[in-house]
Homo-oligomer: A and B are copies of this chain.
Amino acid sequence: MFKRAKQTRVFQDVVEQIQDAILSGELEPGAKLPAERDLKDMFNTSRGTLREALRVLEQKGLIEIKLGVAGGAIVKRIDADPICESLALLIRSGELALEHLAEFRIKTEGSIVELAAQRATPGDIQEMERLFEKAKTYFENQDWENFLKTDETMHTYIGIMSQNPVFQFLQKSVHDNIHRYYKDYLPMNPERTMENLNDFKKIIAALKVKDGQAASHIIMDHVERFHKKMQKKNAEENNEPDNS
Protein backbone atom coordinates (compact mmCIF):
# COMPACT_ATOMS: atom_id res chain seq x y z
CA MET A 1 0.00 0.00 0.00
CA PHE A 2 2.56 2.57 1.08
CA LYS A 3 6.00 3.04 -0.25
CA ARG A 4 8.94 3.42 2.06
CA ALA A 5 9.36 7.10 2.90
CA LYS A 6 12.25 8.54 0.97
CA GLN A 7 15.29 8.96 3.11
CA THR A 8 16.35 12.49 3.70
CA ARG A 9 19.42 13.12 1.68
CA VAL A 10 20.14 16.80 1.30
CA PHE A 11 21.75 16.44 -2.12
CA GLN A 12 18.58 14.75 -3.44
CA ASP A 13 16.59 17.83 -2.56
CA VAL A 14 19.12 20.02 -4.36
CA VAL A 15 18.95 17.73 -7.40
CA GLU A 16 15.18 17.97 -7.48
CA GLN A 17 15.10 21.73 -7.15
CA ILE A 18 17.58 22.27 -9.98
CA GLN A 19 15.98 19.56 -12.12
CA ASP A 20 12.55 21.09 -11.70
CA ALA A 21 13.92 24.51 -12.60
CA ILE A 22 15.35 23.03 -15.79
CA LEU A 23 12.28 20.99 -16.75
CA SER A 24 9.91 23.86 -16.04
CA GLY A 25 11.89 26.01 -18.44
CA GLU A 26 13.01 28.38 -15.72
CA LEU A 27 16.54 27.44 -16.71
CA GLU A 28 16.92 27.05 -20.46
CA PRO A 29 19.58 25.09 -22.30
CA GLY A 30 22.75 27.13 -22.37
CA ALA A 31 21.98 28.92 -19.11
CA LYS A 32 24.79 28.97 -16.60
CA LEU A 33 24.20 28.09 -12.98
CA PRO A 34 25.88 30.20 -10.28
CA ALA A 35 29.29 29.12 -9.05
CA GLU A 36 29.46 26.24 -6.59
CA ARG A 37 30.44 28.56 -3.78
CA ASP A 38 27.35 30.69 -4.44
CA LEU A 39 24.98 27.74 -4.93
CA LYS A 40 26.09 26.19 -1.67
CA ASP A 41 24.98 29.38 0.11
CA MET A 42 21.66 29.53 -1.76
CA PHE A 43 20.81 25.96 -0.78
CA ASN A 44 22.34 26.45 2.64
CA THR A 45 24.48 23.36 2.33
CA SER A 46 28.13 22.45 2.17
CA ARG A 47 30.13 22.43 -1.02
CA GLY A 48 30.64 18.66 -0.86
CA THR A 49 26.93 17.97 -0.70
CA LEU A 50 26.25 20.45 -3.47
CA ARG A 51 28.88 18.78 -5.63
CA GLU A 52 27.23 15.40 -5.12
CA ALA A 53 24.03 16.95 -6.43
CA LEU A 54 25.84 18.38 -9.46
CA ARG A 55 27.40 14.96 -10.11
CA VAL A 56 23.93 13.41 -10.26
CA LEU A 57 22.58 16.12 -12.56
CA GLU A 58 25.60 15.70 -14.80
CA GLN A 59 25.03 11.94 -14.95
CA LYS A 60 21.38 12.51 -15.82
CA GLY A 61 22.52 14.58 -18.78
CA LEU A 62 20.88 17.76 -17.48
CA ILE A 63 24.02 19.83 -17.02
CA GLU A 64 27.56 19.94 -18.29
CA ILE A 65 30.44 21.28 -16.25
CA LYS A 66 33.22 23.42 -17.64
CA LEU A 67 36.50 24.21 -15.98
CA GLY A 68 38.39 27.41 -15.39
CA VAL A 69 37.29 30.97 -14.94
CA ALA A 70 33.87 31.58 -16.49
CA GLY A 71 33.38 27.82 -16.11
CA GLY A 72 30.63 26.17 -14.12
CA ALA A 73 27.48 24.15 -14.64
CA ILE A 74 25.69 24.80 -17.93
CA VAL A 75 22.18 23.52 -18.65
CA LYS A 76 22.24 20.99 -21.47
CA ARG A 77 19.57 20.20 -24.02
CA ILE A 78 18.30 16.74 -23.11
CA ASP A 79 19.22 14.06 -25.63
CA ALA A 80 19.41 10.30 -25.98
CA ASP A 81 22.93 9.96 -24.61
CA PRO A 82 21.89 8.78 -21.14
CA ILE A 83 19.69 6.13 -22.74
CA CYS A 84 22.59 5.10 -24.98
CA GLU A 85 24.77 4.69 -21.94
CA SER A 86 22.20 2.70 -19.98
CA LEU A 87 21.63 0.47 -22.97
CA ALA A 88 25.38 -0.08 -23.23
CA LEU A 89 25.41 -1.19 -19.61
CA LEU A 90 22.58 -3.64 -20.25
CA ILE A 91 24.52 -5.13 -23.12
CA ARG A 92 27.88 -5.24 -21.39
CA SER A 93 26.30 -6.80 -18.31
CA GLY A 94 24.98 -9.65 -20.41
CA GLU A 95 21.34 -8.83 -19.71
CA LEU A 96 20.97 -8.17 -23.44
CA ALA A 97 22.48 -10.35 -26.15
CA LEU A 98 23.17 -9.17 -29.67
CA GLU A 99 20.57 -11.69 -30.85
CA HIS A 100 17.94 -9.81 -28.91
CA LEU A 101 18.99 -6.53 -30.45
CA ALA A 102 19.02 -8.04 -33.92
CA GLU A 103 15.48 -9.34 -33.47
CA PHE A 104 14.45 -5.94 -32.18
CA ARG A 105 16.03 -4.23 -35.16
CA ILE A 106 14.33 -6.54 -37.66
CA LYS A 107 10.94 -5.66 -36.22
CA THR A 108 11.55 -1.99 -35.53
CA GLU A 109 13.59 -0.76 -38.44
CA GLY A 110 10.92 -2.15 -40.70
CA SER A 111 8.39 0.10 -39.00
CA ILE A 112 10.73 3.07 -38.99
CA VAL A 113 11.51 2.89 -42.69
CA GLU A 114 7.80 2.55 -43.40
CA LEU A 115 7.18 5.87 -41.67
CA ALA A 116 10.24 7.32 -43.36
CA ALA A 117 8.81 6.41 -46.76
CA GLN A 118 5.62 8.29 -45.95
CA ARG A 119 7.36 11.35 -44.59
CA ALA A 120 10.72 11.77 -46.28
CA THR A 121 11.13 15.15 -47.95
CA PRO A 122 12.98 15.55 -51.25
CA GLY A 123 15.81 17.03 -49.19
CA ASP A 124 15.91 13.93 -47.02
CA ILE A 125 16.22 11.70 -50.03
CA GLN A 126 18.97 13.91 -51.38
CA GLU A 127 20.77 13.57 -48.05
CA MET A 128 20.44 9.79 -48.18
CA GLU A 129 21.87 9.79 -51.69
CA ARG A 130 24.74 11.95 -50.50
CA LEU A 131 25.45 9.52 -47.67
CA PHE A 132 25.19 6.64 -50.12
CA GLU A 133 27.80 8.18 -52.43
CA LYS A 134 30.01 8.87 -49.43
CA ALA A 135 29.77 5.25 -48.34
CA LYS A 136 30.52 4.13 -51.89
CA THR A 137 33.68 6.22 -51.91
CA TYR A 138 34.83 4.69 -48.64
CA PHE A 139 34.07 1.28 -50.11
CA GLU A 140 36.21 1.98 -53.15
CA ASN A 141 39.03 3.23 -50.92
CA GLN A 142 38.60 0.19 -48.68
CA ASP A 143 38.22 2.52 -45.70
CA TRP A 144 36.13 0.16 -43.60
CA GLU A 145 36.24 2.29 -40.49
CA ASN A 146 34.56 5.20 -42.23
CA PHE A 147 32.31 2.92 -44.20
CA LEU A 148 30.86 1.52 -40.99
CA LYS A 149 30.47 5.03 -39.64
CA THR A 150 28.57 6.16 -42.71
CA ASP A 151 26.47 3.01 -42.55
CA GLU A 152 25.54 3.95 -38.99
CA THR A 153 24.71 7.48 -40.10
CA MET A 154 22.39 6.19 -42.81
CA HIS A 155 20.55 4.01 -40.31
CA THR A 156 20.14 6.86 -37.87
CA TYR A 157 19.09 9.17 -40.68
CA ILE A 158 16.25 6.80 -41.45
CA GLY A 159 15.18 7.44 -37.87
CA ILE A 160 15.27 11.17 -38.52
CA MET A 161 13.12 10.80 -41.64
CA SER A 162 10.49 8.98 -39.56
CA GLN A 163 9.99 12.36 -37.86
CA ASN A 164 9.32 10.63 -34.58
CA PRO A 165 11.89 11.38 -31.87
CA VAL A 166 11.21 8.06 -30.13
CA PHE A 167 12.47 6.23 -33.17
CA GLN A 168 15.31 8.70 -33.58
CA PHE A 169 16.50 8.15 -30.04
CA LEU A 170 16.14 4.40 -30.29
CA GLN A 171 17.90 4.19 -33.63
CA LYS A 172 20.74 6.27 -32.25
CA SER A 173 21.00 4.24 -29.06
CA VAL A 174 20.88 0.88 -30.75
CA HIS A 175 23.33 1.66 -33.54
CA ASP A 176 25.67 3.48 -31.22
CA ASN A 177 25.92 0.27 -29.27
CA ILE A 178 25.92 -2.45 -31.89
CA HIS A 179 28.53 -0.98 -34.17
CA ARG A 180 30.98 -1.22 -31.32
CA TYR A 181 30.41 -4.96 -31.42
CA TYR A 182 30.00 -5.57 -35.11
CA LYS A 183 33.35 -3.91 -35.65
CA ASP A 184 34.94 -6.39 -33.28
CA TYR A 185 33.20 -9.45 -34.59
CA LEU A 186 33.04 -8.82 -38.30
CA PRO A 187 36.23 -8.21 -40.19
CA MET A 188 35.09 -6.34 -43.22
CA ASN A 189 34.98 -8.11 -46.53
CA PRO A 190 34.06 -6.72 -49.91
CA GLU A 191 31.14 -9.06 -50.59
CA ARG A 192 29.09 -8.09 -47.55
CA THR A 193 29.98 -4.46 -47.98
CA MET A 194 28.67 -4.65 -51.53
CA GLU A 195 25.48 -6.26 -50.29
CA ASN A 196 25.03 -3.47 -47.77
CA LEU A 197 25.43 -0.84 -50.41
CA ASN A 198 22.96 -2.51 -52.71
CA ASP A 199 20.40 -2.69 -49.94
CA PHE A 200 20.58 1.05 -49.42
CA LYS A 201 20.29 1.66 -53.13
CA LYS A 202 17.06 -0.31 -53.13
CA ILE A 203 15.81 1.43 -50.00
CA ILE A 204 16.41 4.86 -51.48
CA ALA A 205 14.56 3.83 -54.61
CA ALA A 206 11.61 2.69 -52.50
CA LEU A 207 11.66 5.94 -50.52
CA LYS A 208 11.50 7.90 -53.76
CA VAL A 209 8.24 6.29 -54.78
CA LYS A 210 6.99 6.28 -51.18
CA ASP A 211 6.69 2.51 -51.17
CA GLY A 212 6.90 1.90 -47.43
CA GLN A 213 6.12 -1.81 -47.68
CA ALA A 214 8.96 -2.44 -50.09
CA ALA A 215 11.43 -0.39 -48.08
CA SER A 216 10.35 -2.20 -44.95
CA HIS A 217 10.94 -5.64 -46.46
CA ILE A 218 14.34 -4.65 -47.79
CA ILE A 219 15.63 -3.38 -44.49
CA MET A 220 14.24 -6.28 -42.49
CA ASP A 221 16.04 -8.61 -44.84
CA HIS A 222 19.14 -6.42 -44.62
CA VAL A 223 19.29 -6.64 -40.86
CA GLU A 224 18.53 -10.33 -40.74
CA ARG A 225 21.15 -11.22 -43.32
CA PHE A 226 23.76 -9.06 -41.61
CA HIS A 227 23.09 -10.64 -38.25
CA LYS A 228 23.14 -14.21 -39.57
CA LYS A 229 26.55 -13.61 -41.11
CA MET A 230 27.81 -12.33 -37.81
CA GLN A 231 26.48 -15.33 -35.97
CA LYS A 232 28.10 -17.66 -38.49
CA LYS A 233 31.39 -15.83 -38.19
CA ASN A 234 31.20 -16.07 -34.41
CA ALA A 235 30.50 -19.79 -34.55
CA GLU A 236 33.48 -20.35 -36.82
CA GLU A 237 35.74 -18.38 -34.54
CA ASN A 238 34.59 -20.38 -31.57
CA ASN A 239 35.26 -23.66 -33.35
CA GLU A 240 38.79 -22.69 -34.28
CA PRO A 241 39.65 -19.88 -31.91
CA ASP A 242 43.41 -20.14 -32.52
CA ASN A 243 43.61 -19.45 -36.22
CA SER A 244 46.20 -16.69 -35.95
Contact = CB atoms under 8 A, between A and B. Distances in A.
A21 interface: no
Chain A facing B: main interface SS: helix
A217 interface: no
A80 B169 CA distance: 16
Interface stretch (A102-110, A191-199, A201-209): A102-110
Contact of A165 (B67, B83, B96): B96
Interface in A85-108: 85-87, 89-90, 92-93, 95-96, 100-101, 103-104, 107-108
Contacts of A89: 23, 60-62, 78, 82
Interface of A: 7, 11, 22-23, 48, 51-52, 55-56, 59-62, 67, 78-80, 82-83, 85-87, 89-90, 92-93, 95-96, 100-101, 103-104, 107-108, 111-112, 114-115, 164-167, 169
